[in-house]
Amino acid sequence: MTFERLIARRFLKREKKTFSRPLVNIATYTIALGIVVMIMAVMILRGFQNNITGKVAGFGSHITIRGFGWGNDFDEIPIVMSPEELQRIANVPGVEKVQPYAVKGGMLKTDEQIQGIIFKGIDSCYDKTFFSQNLVNGRLPEIGGESASKEVIISQRIANMLQIDTGMKAPTYFWTGDNYRARDFRVVGIYNTDLPEFDEHYIFGDIKQVQKLNKWENGEVAGYELTVDNYDKLDAIASEVQGVTRPDLEVTTIRENNLSMFAWLELLDSNIALILAIMAIVCVTSVVSALLIMIFERTAMIGVLKTLGSSNRSIRRIFMLKAMPIIIRGVVIGDAIALALALLQSRFHILKLDSNNYYMSFVPVDINAWYFIAISVATFAVCTLALLIPSTYIARIDPAKTIRVE
């Protein structure tokens, strides 16, 4: 055991009745509180971002391939891609699924209400996981027969506005040039994502219905939607997809198709940075204050150690060794509390939200071990470096004066 560690351990044993003891406890719990706030802030904001991104991707996937010159969701230009082209795209690293889709604008009408809608047609191979997770009533439509299925799912918002329930017909009218064509769909399921921009308009059914309405050939679709296995590499994967796609086709990402929403989500990163900075300052201030008081209390001891030949560096290390357990205890306590709170919220959804304003009905948390590791290590490192500030006071202590005072 080194000299500094021995003094630090004896120092710790004899501090219970000193004035600095309450400050040490305050510093410990302040660091714990800072850790809790930082970790919960990151988990909640990341959970919020991931939740919204997942919902938006459920409506439009991560990457979209369609023809140049498309106007909007009401006027898509049909494209045809050969099996060889689709296979090249599917072979791009990071691409999980390639799925055709088609959309058609129209309106859903009952005896008393009219609602503009976007009919999104999908085929039997389409990944329906998103719809299954957000289905609140009924079942998914059966798609894949020889004839176009008339089964559809609609959102809870549309169902409430038009007083439609599962098993009922949904008279729908589509614009075709200067005229319209009617379709009587049957509602078999109701979904809810808490995203009003999408829930108020989208209904889902058989892609063959759109092909028939637009008089397209069997292989013609509005485009293809691609899902990726790593959202963080979205731009790189989209660039590779563009490289293997015909030049007359446009490749866009979910961020490009929803600029305003993702610009808003990116603003949340600045909120995370601000919270982390504020709480880091609070933790540093608390532990520095505690160490300063300990140094002031032990001025005479510092004088004696200097008289006996101890260097400023050696004495500084004694106080650093004494202060580090404060930081470690605070970090461990904070991690434990943050994990407990996150698990409770994830399991029981204790904190609720207004879905009309926040696009979800409860506070989401993204529990990730890396958040705990990164924030804990960073907090320990910052607080430890900050200890160098008060420890420089040790060099200014004159042993002759301190011993004379005693």
CB 157 within 8 A of CB 117: no
Q: What is the pLDDT of residues 96-108, one digit of tens each?
A: 999 999 999 899 9
Is pLDDT at 157 greater than 70 in this prediction? yes
pTM greater than 0.75 (yes/no):
yes
Q: Please state the rounded mean pLDDT for residues 268-275.
A: 87
Is pLDDT at 197 greater than 90 in this prediction? no
CB 289 within 8 A of CB 107: no
User: Does 95 lie in the same domain as 180?
Assistant: yes
Asked which of 247, 271, 291 is the last residue of a domain, the reply is: 247
Position 256 in a domain? no
DSSP 396: G
Is pLDDT at 404 greater than 70 in this prediction? no
User: Does 277 lie in the same domain as 349?
Assistant: yes
3-state secondary structure of 5: helix
Looking at residue 17, its pLDDT comes to 58
Position 64 in a domain? no
User: Does 375 lie in the same domain as 318?
Assistant: yes
Q: What is the pLDDT of residues 293-349, one digit of tens each?
A: 888 887 778 788 877 778 888 888 888 888 888 899 999 999 999 999 999 999 999
Query: For 155, what's the count of Cα atoms within 13 Å in the CB-facing half-sphere?
Result: 23
Tokens of 187: 């509602």
Q: How far apart are CA 88 and CA 222, in angstroms?
A: 19
Q: How far apart are CA 206 and CA 208, in angstroms?
A: 5
Q: How far apart are CA 192 and CA 215, in angstroms?
A: 31
Residue 202: give the domain boundaries: 69-247
User: Does 337 lie in the same domain as 200?
Assistant: no
User: Does 233 lie in the same domain as 86?
Assistant: yes
Reported in sequence order, the residue ranges of 229-307 that DSSP labels E, i.e. its strands, are 249-253
User: Does 225 lie in the same domain as 81?
Assistant: yes
Q: How far apart are CA 96 and CA 227, in angstroms?
A: 5
Q: In Å, how far from its chain's centre is CA 113?
A: 37
Tokens of 53: 């991104």
User: Does 393 lie in the same domain as 338?
Assistant: yes
- In the chain, the number of structural domains is 2
Q: What is the pLDDT of residues 27-36, one digit of tens each?
A: 899 999 999 9
- Sign of the Cα torsion 6, 12, 14, 15 reads positive
Is pLDDT at 284 greater than 80 in this prediction? yes
Looking at residue 382, its pLDDT comes to 92
Looking at residue 206, its pLDDT comes to 96
Q: What is the CA radius of gyration of the chain?
A: 31
Q: What is the pLDDT of residues 286-309, one digit of tens each?
A: 988 888 888 888 777 878 887 777
Q: How far apart are CA 122 and CA 210, in angstroms?
A: 9
Q: What is the pLDDT of residues 209-254, one digit of tens each?
A: 999 998 898 889 999 999 999 999 999 999 999 999 999 999 999 9
